Structure 1
C-alpha cells in the first residue's frame, strides 16, 4: 500500500510503500490527530520507520492495497 505524508512548512513529502493495511495506517493517523499520540510512526515494506510529529502533519494520503502490475498486458 502506498502512503504519502505532507509535512507543514516543507516543500517535499514522504512517500513510501508499507505492508500495513489501510485500516492500520488510518488508525495510527487518527490517534496522532486526536492527541492520543504525539508522534505518527509508520514502517515501510523494507523496515524503515518514519516518525513525524502529529503537530506537523499537513495531510496523509493512503493509496490502494492493489499491487502494481509490471510488464505488458496481452
Structure 2
C-alpha cells in the first residue's frame, strides 16, 4: 500500500510504500497529532524508518493495496 504525506514548507510530498497489513496508518498519524506527540514513525516495506514531525504534516493520502491492471480487456 502506498501513502503520501504532504509536509509544510516543501513542494514535494513524502511517498512511502508500506508492507501489507498496515491499513491503519491514517489512524496512527491522527492519534499522534491529537495526542500532541512531537513525532511519529513509519517503516516502509524495505525496512527504512521515517521519523516525521507532526507539526509539519499538512495532509495524508492513502492509496489502495490492490494492483491495477494494465492493457486492453475484451
TM-score of the superposed pair, with normalisation by structure 1: 0.80
Are 1:17 and 2:35 an aligned pair? no
User: CA–CA distance in 2 between the matches of 1:17 and 1:51?
Assistant: 15
Partners in 2 of 1:50 and 1:67 — Cα distance? 24
| CA distance 1:17–1:68, shift in 2 (3 Å) | farther
Corresponding residue for residue 50 of structure 1: 50
Unaligned runs of 5+ in 2: none
Runs of 4+ with deviation above 3 angstroms: 71-74
**1: CA distance, partners of 2:67 / 2:39:** 28
Larger radius of gyration: 2
Question: Do the aligned partners of 1:21 and 1:65 also contact (CA within 8 Å) in 2?
Answer: no
Aligned position for 1:40? 40
Aligned residues: 72
CA distance in structure 2 between the aligned counterparts of 1:47 and 1:66, rounded to whole angstroms: 21
CA contact (8 A) 1:5 1:61 kept: yes
Whether 2:27 is the aligned partner of 1:27: answer: yes
